[in-house]
């Protein structure tokens, strides 16, 4: 099913409520204000201008879509790469804080090396060793875009395509993309739908669904870079992090997993809430390989596809904002912003070293080549269906 772009525009003046650009006439594209913004009172921050995200890329129209709940929590998402651009949540004083790192225009997302800021990642999130895997007796070759390995779907991947978008209502956005057979080297035509929902319980829910016409591999995730103290507020080393995992995947020097080991007695033990920076400089080979944390954790609570389980809880040391992540996925990749180099100007400040972190719910890296890991194979007639929830609070 092809969706028509019907973005929600917001124009908040004084105490005006969100104005929705979604109408009830199927197939009709809405005419709305050209910008999405908030007022600049003491308790609010600006969202990027909608006009900065309206561009024709690869023959398709990009735009900016805004979700908002009754608590004034807001998520701005572009259909270019299915990216979370801004995420405004109140801190412990009630002040709205943008905790998602990114740009204020679509051009910065399209230029240069892919930063993956906020992006939907596919067809396979994380790394595949040497860009090769076998499936049903046939070997497939993918792009090696991360040293000797394949990363996050390839040279283009899902993070650099324009998704078809349907604004369902003020709280829900549906994005769809059809990846052709052998696109980026993957077999099968994959039809993917990603649904973002912002609830009145301050939860941003991301549901991923996919079907294929040939046996393939799928591992979808979201790559939002977070700073719970707010974009431009400095490093994230004072954030406290708890990960519901007693095991993790150690890696080789190219960051490909070498197995599963306990976290106990290592700097990777976040079973109790611990500052991200507490052990990040320890003399540890795994930390040296990743230049910090860039590892998958094996979540406690069973395999993917079952009940939602707590994956991680993070709290900003300055803002008091807490993010709790629940998921149906078996793993979560913790990345501590080790390769941020200050090369990009953001909505506020630059992407300086370790000024953001990522927690990507997922199947394990290199699963197609490691039979001991949960399978990422999807066959015709099956539906890939997985949900991750980010819940926000502050105190």
d(CA 92, CA 84): 23
**262 token code pair:** 């306990």
**Would 339 be classed as within a structural domain?**
yes
Rounded to whole angstroms, what are the CA distances from 292 to 100, 268, 269, 286, 381? 21, 10, 14, 8, 41
Residue 295, domain member (yes or no): yes
H helix or E strand, kind and range, residue 107:
helix 106-110
* pLDDT for the residue numbered 144: 97
Domain at 309, CATH number: 2.70.98.10
3 state DSSP class of 376: coil
8 Å CB contact between 37 and 46: yes
Query: 117 with 104: CB under 8 angstroms?
Result: no
pLDDT of residue 112: 74
Nearest alpha-carbon partner for 248 in 238, 230, 235, 261 = 261
Measure the CA–CA gap between 369 and 219, rounded to whole angstroms: 14
Q: In which domain, by residue range, is 249 found?
A: 129-155+216-221+233-394
Neighbours of 260 (CB within 10 A): 15
Q: How far is CA 196 from CA 84, 231, 360, in A?
A: 10, 22, 15
Residue 40 is assigned to a structural domain of this protein: no
The single residue listed with the structure tokens 């994959």 is 190
For residue 302, being part of any structural domain is answered with yes
What is the tally of structural domains in the chain?
A: 1
Give pLDDT, residue 122: 98
pLDDT in tens, 67-106: 999 999 999 999 999 999 999 999 999 999 999 999 999 9
Distance of alpha carbon 187 from alpha carbon 214, whole angstroms: 7
What Å distances lie between residue 162 and 88, 143, 218, 331, CA to CA? 24, 20, 19, 27
Q: Is the pLDDT of residue 14 over 60?
A: no
Q: CA 36, CA 19: separation in Å to the nearest integer?
A: 10
Please check whether residue 49 lies inside any domain of the structure.
Answer: no
Token pair for residue 235?
A: 């490093």
Q: Has residue 349 been placed in a domain?
A: yes
DSSP three-state, residue 315:
strand
Minimum mean pLDDT among 15-19, 231-235, 238-242, 312-316: which range?
15-19
pLDDT at 303 over 90: no
Question: Does residue 177 lie within any of the structural domains?
Answer: no
Q: How far is residue 218 from each of residues 290, 329, 334, 349, 385, measured CA to CA in Å?
A: 24, 12, 20, 35, 11
Q: Would residue 105 be called left, alpha or beta, if left means φ above 0 and alpha means ψ between -120 and 50 degrees?
A: beta
- Whether 277 shows a pLDDT value over 50: the answer reads yes
Numbered residues of the known binding site: 126-127, 294
Q: Quick check: 81 and 99 in contact, CB under 8 A? A: no
Cβ neighbourhood burial of 6 (10 Å; 0-12, 13-18, 19+) = buried
- pLDDT at residue 1 in the model: 37
Q: Tell me, yes or no, whether 375 lies in a domain.
A: yes
Question: What residues are labeled active site?
Answer: 223, 360
pLDDT tens digits for 114-155? 789 999 999 999 999 999 999 999 999 999 999 999 999 999
Instruction: Give the residue ranges of the annotated binding site for beta-D-galactose.
Output: 126-127, 294
Mean pLDDT of the chain: 90
What is the per-residue pLDDT across 25-83, written as a single tens digit (0 to 9) for each?
A: 333 333 333 344 443 333 458 899 999 999 999 999 999 999 999 999 999 999 999 99
Helix (H, G, I), strand (E, B) or coil at 52: helix
CB 324 within 8 A of CB 310: yes
Residues paired with 394 in a beta bridge? 321
């Amino acid at each position: 099913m092809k969706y028509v772009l019907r973005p929600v525009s917001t124009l908040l003046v004084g105490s005006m409520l969100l104005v929705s650009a979604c109408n009830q006439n199927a197939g009709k594209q809405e005419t709305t204000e050209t910008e999405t913004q908030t007022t600049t009172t003491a308790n609010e921050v600006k969202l990027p201008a909608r006009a900065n995200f309206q561009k024709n890329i690869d023959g398709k129209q990009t735009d900016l879509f805004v979700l908002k709940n009754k608590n004034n929590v807001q998520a701005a998402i572009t259909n270019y790469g299915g990216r979370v651009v801004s995420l405004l949540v109140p801190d412990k004083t009630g002040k709205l804080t943008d905790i998602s790192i990114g740009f204020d225009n679509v051009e910065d997302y399209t230029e240069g090396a892919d930063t993956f800021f906020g992006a939907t990642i596919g067809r396979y999130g994380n790394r595949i060793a040497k860009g090769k895997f076998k499936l049903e007796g046939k070997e497939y070759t993918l792009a090696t875009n991360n040293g000797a390995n394949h990363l996050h779907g390839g040279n283009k991947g899902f993070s650099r395509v324009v998704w078809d978008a349907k604004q369902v209502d003020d709280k829900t956005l549906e994005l769809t993309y059809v990846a052709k057979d052998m696109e980026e080297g993957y077999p099968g035509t994959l039809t993917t739908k990603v649904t973002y929902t912002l609830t009145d319980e301050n939860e941003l829910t991301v549901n991923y669904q996919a079907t294929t016409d040939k046996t393939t591999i799928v591992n979808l995730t979201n790559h939002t870079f977070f700073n719970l103290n707010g974009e431009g507020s400095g490093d994230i080393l004072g954030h406290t992090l708890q990960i519901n995992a007693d095991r993790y995947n150690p890696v080789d020097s190219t960051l490909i997993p070498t197995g599963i080991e306990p976290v106990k007695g290592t700097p990777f033990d976040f079973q109790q809430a611990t500052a991200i920076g507490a052990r990040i400089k320890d003399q540890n080979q795994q930390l040296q390989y990743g230049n910090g944390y860039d590892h998958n954790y094996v979540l406690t609570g069973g395999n993917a596809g079952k009940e939602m389980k707590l994956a991680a809880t993070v709290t900003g040391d300055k803002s008091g904002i807490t993010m709790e992540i629940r998921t149906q996925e078996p793993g979560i990749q913790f990345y501590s912003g080790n390769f941020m180099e200050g090369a990009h100007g953001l909505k506020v400040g630059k992407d300086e070293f370790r000024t953001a972190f990522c927690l990507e719910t997922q199947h394990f890296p290199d699963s197609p080549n490691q039979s001991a890991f949960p399978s990422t194979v999807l066959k015709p007639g099956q539906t890939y269906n997985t949900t991750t929830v980010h819940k926000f609070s502050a105190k």
